[in-house]
Structures are given as C-alpha cells and as structure tokens.
Structure 1
Amino acid sequence: MNNRNKVALVTGGTLGIGAATALALAKQGHDICLVARHIAGETLSAEIREMGVRCHVISADLSAVAACQAAVEETAAVLGGIDILVHSAGGPAPGGLLSGAADVWYAAFDIHLHAAFQLCRFAVPHMQANKEAAIIFISSAAGLRGVKNALAYSVVKGALFQLTRSLALELAPFNIRVNCVSPGVIRTRFQNSLTEAQVKKNLEDRIPLAREGRPSDVADVICMLVNNTFITGENVTIDGGMSMRIV
C-alpha cells in the first residue's frame, strides 16, 4: 500500500452508530467519507478534520443502485481509494405479516441489504488494490431472534449474517475481511420512540447489564474488527447480554 492514510467509507455516517464509528476511525488516523441521506454533518466533519485527517461528505439515498456506485467512486476519487467500508445506513421497518405495508418490506431490503451488496460490488475492486481491507455490516440482535411487529427489519438483519459469511469466503483470497456487528438496545434516535414503560422493561427485565448501550460501545468493536487482521466471517453481538435472555 502507498503512504496515504487508509480511507473509511461510513454510510449512515452523520448520526448514531455511524457517527460514533466515523469519529473512532478518525482518531486512529483514517481519512473518512461520511455518506448519509440527510446531511447534518458539518459539525462532525469539522471535528474529524481537527484530528488531522481528511473528511469528505456525500448526500445520497443508498436505496438506489446508482447512488451506491456514485458514492463509492466519489470516495475513491476524492480520498484516493477505499480500505474500510462500514454500512450503518438503515432505519426502522415496523409492521408484521398482516399489519405491515408492502412498501416498508421492500424499502427495508433496499437500504439494509441491497445497498450492502451494491456497495461491496463497487468498492471491492478498489479494495483489491490494497494489501488488506475490511468490510463491516451493522446488523442487529433482532436478526438473531426476531422481533414481533418488526418482520422486515428482523429478516434483513438476519440476512446480513449470511452475506457476511459468504463474502468472507469469497474475498479472503484478496485479504479483504468481512465481519458483522449486532447491537441490541443502543441509545440513538432509533430508540427515541420507546415509551417509559418499554425503557423500564429493557433495563429491569431484558438487559442483564441493566443499561442501554452507547454508540461508542459499538464503534469500539468495529474498530477492533478493522484492526484485527485474523478475524473474518464473524458476527459480534453487542447487547449487554440481552440475546441470551428468554424473557
């Protein structure tokens, strides 16, 4: 690899887990490209640049194939390559089999799963030019066990596990590692719709460590997976023990 900094493309990079991950990777000396549907990253990008690394911001709706390709090509052109891909873009997809709307189902696949596939398809040729690279998908504890009235979300997050394993095998000859993290209840905007009763149940009955996670808890694990060059095809659950509870 040449002497440039490693470049990390982080989708959903201006909020929550994506923003925490971008900051954590920047602290390690990586140049960052933040990709988000609604850009509100001026303060974040300024904070990243103050660390002495470059930061580029792209506004894109990654549910469109052309947007995935454009984001990858712009990142590589502006920052000189792509070494790390973190797909954190997504969002809730409420509803069950009978209660959910069909467009919610298809939209969940587009942003969570299809975008992950397309981003990899366009980014891997850039990654192959490097000595090693890393891809990290953000799944969910919901993908491990399923969640009532969140059918599409649970299904697409579970599908990311298989995408992780299959790509890890396919890309290992190029020394491109593919891993996945599965957060539980993390205090982000995603959780703001919870009622006080739901929060209380999480803390008292569902999470053995009796606290919500922080975006930085997830970002720390992502950085570990980026830095450890002997881990691939794995899913790391970050949920305070919630997924081992029966209730």
Structure 2
Amino acid sequence: MNFIPDFSNKNIIITGATSGIGWETACRYIAAGGNVIAIGRNTSKGQELEQYAASEKGTCHFYACDFLKSETIEPLCARILAEFPRIDILVNCAGISIYKTILEMSIQEWDDIFTTNVKATFLMCRSILPSMRTNKNGHIVNIGSTAGVCGAYNLHSYAATKGAVIQLTRSLAAEYSADNVIINCVCPGATATNMCKDGETPDEMREFLKRFPLGRFATPAEIASIIMFVSSDEASNMAGSIIMDDGGFSAI
C-alpha cells in the first residue's frame, strides 16, 4: 500500500516522531505537503526531519520533549497552539515497551510505561481537542497494538497500556464525533522497529513470526500508510474504529 494523498495546508502533530513508525509517518506527511509539528526525544533526529523537509513538498518544526516528564506536555502544547492555532491532525505515536514478567518488573518501570503510553496520550488529546472542537474539524489517530487486544507474552504492562489507549479512543470518539473530531486507533502487530526487535533474540523472533499468517514483520511504511489514510478526508465516516494492521495475527 502506498497511499499518499495531498496534505497541503494541514497542520499535523506527531509524537514519537524521531524513531520507528512515528519517523516514517512524519516523513510521509512531509512528502505529501503537510506542515509537520514533530515531537520527540532525539534532537538530532528531529533536526534531520527538518532538513528532510527542506527538500520536500511540506515543512517540519521539531519540538524536543521527553514524555516521561509529563508535566512538560501541556506547556509544550500551549507553545505549539500559540504558533499554530489550527491543528488538523494529531497522531499519538510515542510509546515504549518493557520486556519483563510481572515478577521482574519494578513499580517505577510500570509507572514509566503508563506515563509514556497512556498519560501522554491523554494529555495530548486534552490539550489539542479544544482547538479542534472550536474549528469543528480534526482527526486524532492513536496508536494501539495487537497486544492491547490479544495480550502478549512478557509484555503485560505494554499490553495493558495499549488496551487503555484503545478504550480511550472509543470513548473520546463517542464524546467528540458530533463536533466533527474524528478519532480512531491503529493497532500494529510485529513491526520492524528497534522497539519490537530489542526485546527478543533472533531465534525467539523466528518462532514469534510463525504465529503471523503473513510470516513477517510489517514495515513502518506500511503502518504509516494506514495512519495517513485514517487521518485523511477519505476516512471521514470512520469514528471510534480499531484498525488491526497485524499480518493476520488477530485472525487466528
């Protein structure tokens, strides 16, 4: 799938934009003419995005933020809204995972993953929704996971956070669709990113991929294409949808 519509004149916030799916999604929105407001921890990668935009159709403005410091999120959003009062699209892509059993995981690690994956998504939505309601227009795409639907071995905390994001998506869609704020959730399966690969050995990964009918990792580009479609005008009748992009994993 290579869905690249025209996002000219669209202001697009992407969190987690300096790695993995967020990076690929930011690059594709830029190539499609969007004005990308990229948020991430890695300043050098953020600067790379801005340099990439200089030779593409769109533009990019990078803001450094570590979502583990959740107290910085709302002030950051206030800065962004002061510069870009109309936000057309918000993609909540920032996330972390921790591969440990419940007996191995510390309370701090549990708090960290919920702060990054759930609290940050909540705060971004709470900060940006008022602008979208005022404009009677907007798309929010949250990033869930098949783990949030099916569970996952050694990923209980990650699965719990993604389950929370899925239900947050459904509830916000029920509350704000009448304001023409379209809110959906894309749930990737195993994707070829460092976050997915770091937790397993090569042998473990080969065994894991046997559970997927397609038998392979998704690419970040494949997930980015779905995110772009869901945030486009062509998806105007989708609201509260949970889109599984998992190589058939959830079908069996």
**TM-score normalised by length of structure 2:** 0.90
Of 56, 60, 73, the residue aligned with 1:55 is 60
Aligned to 1:238: 245
| Structure 1 residues 131 and 28: alpha-carbon distance in aligned structure 2, compared to 1, 3 A threshold | farther
Of 119, 125, 128, the residue aligned with 1:120 is 125
* Distance in structure 2 (CA, Å) of the matches to 1:58 and 1:236: 28
- Greater CA drift, 140-149 or 36-45: 36-45
Q: Secondary structure at the match of 1:129?
A: helix
Matched, 1:130 2:110: no
Which residue type is aligned with residue 23 of structure 1?
A: C
| Structure 1 residues 171 and 63: alpha-carbon distance in aligned structure 2, compared to 1, 3 A threshold | farther
Kindly state the Cα deviation for residue 42 of structure 1 after the two structures are TM-superposed.
1.9
Ranges of 4+ aligned residues in structure 1 off by more than 6 Å? none
User: How many equivalent residue pairs?
Assistant: 241
| Structure 1 residues 131 and 51: alpha-carbon distance in aligned structure 2, compared to 1, 3 A threshold | farther
Cα RMSD (Å)? 1.6
Which residue type is aligned with residue 208 of structure 2?
A: N
Aligned to 2:147: 142
- For residues 190-212 of structure 1, give each alpha carbon's deviation from its aligned partner in whole angstroms, at most 9, with x where no partner exists: 13323121222234x21111221
Aligned to 1:196: 202
* Distance in structure 1 (CA, Å) of the matches to 2:137 and 2:32: 16
Aligned to 2:9: 5
Gap regions ≥5 residues in structure 2: 1-7
1:27-176 to structure 2, matched below 5 A, reads: 27-39=31-43, 40-176=45-181
* Distance in structure 2 (CA, Å) of the matches to 1:126 and 1:163: 19
Question: Among the aligned pairs, what percent are the same residue?
Answer: 32
* Distance in structure 2 (CA, Å) of the matches to 1:25 and 1:198: 34
Matched, 1:18 2:25: no
CA contact (8 A) 1:90 1:112 kept: yes
Q: Secondary structure at the match of 1:41?
A: helix
CA contact (8 A) 1:83 1:130 kept: no
Kindly state the Cα deviation for residue 51 of structure 1 after the two structures are TM-superposed.
1.8
Gap regions ≥5 residues in structure 1: none
Kindly state the Cα deviation for residue 75 of structure 1 after the two structures are TM-superposed.
2.1
Q: Secondary structure at the match of 1:206?
A: coil
Kindly state the Cα deviation for residue 80 of structure 1 after the two structures are TM-superposed.
4.2
* Distance in structure 1 (CA, Å) of the matches to 2:181 and 2:133: 8
- For residues 70-129 of structure 1, give each alpha carbon's deviation from its aligned partner in whole angstroms, at most 9, with x where no partner exists: 222222233443111111111112323222111111111111111111111111112123
* Distance in structure 2 (CA, Å) of the matches to 1:38 and 1:238: 27
* Distance in structure 1 (CA, Å) of the matches to 2:130 and 2:229: 24
* Distance in structure 2 (CA, Å) of the matches to 1:147 and 1:13: 25
CA contact (8 A) 1:83 1:127 kept: yes
Kindly state the Cα deviation for residue 26 of structure 1 after the two structures are TM-superposed.
1.9
CA contact (8 A) 2:101 2:156 kept: yes
